[in-house]
Structure 1
Amino acid sequence: MNSFVKKLKQIVIILAVTLLTIGCSQVPSLSYNPWEVIELPTEAIFSDLAFTDDFDRGWLVGTKAALFETTDGGNTWQEKNLALGDEKVSFTSVSFAGEEGWISGKPSILLHTKDGGETWERIPLSEKLPGSPYNVEALGANSAEMTTDLGAIYQTNDGGRTWQALVAEAVGVARNISRSEDGKYIAVSSKGNFYSTWEPGQSQWTPHNRNSSRRLQNMGFGKDGRIWLLARGGQVQFSVEDDFETWENPIAPEFSTSWGLLDIGYRTPEEIWVAGGSGNLLCSFDGGKTWLKDREVEEVPTNLYKIIFLTSEKGFVLGQRGYLLKYNPQSEPPSATA
């Protein structure tokens, strides 16, 4: 009996050591940290931010009707409250073209401003709208494009009074929907089983099977002409340029990790950042061939949900519980440390 207990203990110890060994990251460290941690007084999960043309005034939105304004380029933020009554609202997207901006949200809310956010007007939406507003893109004067979480796409050219449907039918419940700068869309199904694409001029979404057994987490468009894909288990994959079906070999920036990858952001066509759970942030300076890890932000108590680079010198990473990261350009060239 005693010998059995001893052997059992040995097995448990060996398994524990093995798991710890596997869990240790072997990714080289980034030699400097270009991100400043900002903590705001909210428990919200941030979903999006956008700036007016001068890049000093911007708006940050999230769950729990979180709405923050900056007038100094994102160094400091002030909480703003809108008169929404007792309605429980989660803001999902914000976009500006000049001083004209839009905010979308759930359960069914769309806000419009023409004065940089001094005043916001609520735009009435039809009860027959398929789904709730998911993303809004300001296109110009009185013009915007809106998608719903079911993949319906609409465009307005009169400040939201009327909307034109761009697809004949919705794509179904989507985990996430991304838009390219030239108006293309890619949507991941709610369970990550497949993805769908749409291009301007098409009347309906085109479905695509995922290319592996791993469920899809997120997809989007890169600045290098490729589409990127995040799959469960920390896997990254890039498409052949301008091709929705042909994919390069999968990459695991950090092998054997317990946390997932949530978003990708391009600072330049070559410099790519990927964010994930538990404050994990990695970057590549060669288009995704090799990766470095920013270990100075690992202690920030938040998942990192979204990466936004407005320019190569102005970027943010959005987290939860009031945390966000602000990119501060460094003169020091990137390198790895052991």
Structure 2
Amino acid sequence: MALPLSILDLAHIGEGETAADSLAASVTMARRAEEWGYRRIWYAEHHNMPTIASSATSVLIAHVAAHTRTIRLGAGGVMLPNHAPLTIAEQYGTLATLHPGRIDLGLGRAPGSDQQTMRAMRRNPAAADEFPQDVLELQGYLTGESRIPGVEATPGKGTDVPLYILGSSLFGAQLAAMLGLPYAFASHFAPAALEEAVELYRRDFRPSAQLAEPYVIAGVNVIAADTAEEAQAQFLSAKRKRVGLLLGRGRTFTPEEADLVLDSPAGQQILQMTRYSAVGTPQEVAGELDRFAEHARADELIVVSAAPERAAWLRSLELIAQVRGLVAA
């Protein structure tokens, strides 16, 4: 039986687009993904990034949920050290009250921003050290067993919004195992520790009220197209755009300049970030997803479509759903 497939939507603001264009595209994709049979869509908290429109995850989830009916929606994730746990419990408790059985809450400890933006958000640099305690405090608000006497989340109390620990290192794996929570590994951009982290998580997992057995979600980049040549051309374009995003510092690279960077040591680091990518015809992508799932020992895959244009982005997700049997071709 094929593993469940889900989607990470980065709410990318394309060249010549506005944030409103990006958010409208996210709604369109979510409605199509619901028809195509994907399990869930997650949105990631990023700040001060001109090409990403998902900074306010709870607001975006509310909007998309109002325009869909059944697909699960969640944060992948909320960077909890940026927030008071009570505030997040109230936000996601409200979402779960409005859309019962459809809301997920993935939690990370990274800032989702740079140092200057951290200061603008009034974030305490030491907040990441309190992440495990903050997760437990948040969990208490959502289960109705608050760890702060006299303080409850309304809405939130008793909603039991499922929590997921996100990570790209051994820290998240250890915490997810200790708390008995599902673990989502960011192998779509930080592949280095995947095998070791999953091994640690599965070995040390302790059952909890939320989860009896370990559950691993692994991220993978995908581009499916009608021909392998078309898919590879889109993948090259995506890698060139990543050069500009990570190394551009406000400047735009020509394709030739981006290719020179990709051939450099800095470029090799960027290419290493895309190690886990399934690119080609639908059949080729399906085979690569099966191999990756086995390699990652995953219970679910969350795909990130790297296709650079909107039409190709939607087509890629549709082709994958068809070839994986989520929806009739």
Q: Assess same fold via TM > 0.5.
A: no
Q: Pick the structure with more helix per residue.
A: 2
Q: Pick the structure with more strand per residue.
A: 1
TM-score (norm. length: structure 1): 0.28
| Greater Rg over alpha carbons, structure | 1
